[in-house]
Amino acid sequence: MTATRHVAVLVGSLRKDSFNRLAAQALAQLAPAGLKLEIVEIGQLPHYNQDDDVGTPPAAWEQFREKIKAADAVIFVTPEYNRSVPGVLKNAIDVGSRPYGQSVWAGKPAAVMSVSPGAIGAFGANHHLRQSLVFLNMPTMQQPEAYIGGAATMFDEKGAIKVDGTRDFFRSFAEAFAAWIERVHVKA
């Protein structure tokens, strides 16, 4: 890795003790030295309305867009709601993709990790999100895929991953993403 890469992490759950937030924090701790992961909060974003984007858009939208623009890459960590992503995550994607022709997502390397207490690890949300990322022109890491099931028993009381194999998978996922960024990152 040639330089430190700054990675925006969007967590699709707003719940205080979210398994997805714990997974994002664990991923940040296990990432290689050349990756700096930072959770970018999305709960404060007003619902996207194109009328509000004319003239002076909401300050929260502008701040969010600037954080994403400054990032070298993005990791989405999401639960599954009704075989799709939560509305708050979809709203953040919409805010970042507008106004038309000014998307902050275009060309940014991406990865998706879906986390759920269920056995299939939010598979539906993971793949539904990938459909949007294709449209947003975000080259998305294909392997390793990250469907994290059994999240309700994965973390200890301090939020650390309890199982060595799971911790190793998170580490290898972060290492693969670091390599992916170097492979596809558009040099400015």
Q: Which two tokens stand for residue 112?
A: 């998706």
Model confidence over 89-119: pLDDT tens digits?
999 999 999 999 999 999 999 999 999 999 8
Q: Across residues 8-22, what is the average pLDDT?
A: 96
Query: Can you give the residue range of the structural domain that contains 161?
Result: 5-184
pTM of the model: 0.95
**Of 123, 158, 138, 152, which is closest to residue 29 (Cα–Cα)?**
158
As for how many domains the chain has, the answer is 1
Model confidence over 69-84: pLDDT tens digits?
999 999 999 999 999 9
Decide the pairing of beta strands 73-78 and 110-115: parallel
User: Looking at residue 55, what DSSP letter applies?
Assistant: S
For residue 163, the domain's CATH number is 3.40.50.360
Q: Is 154 left (phi over 0), alpha (psi -120 to 50) or beta?
A: alpha
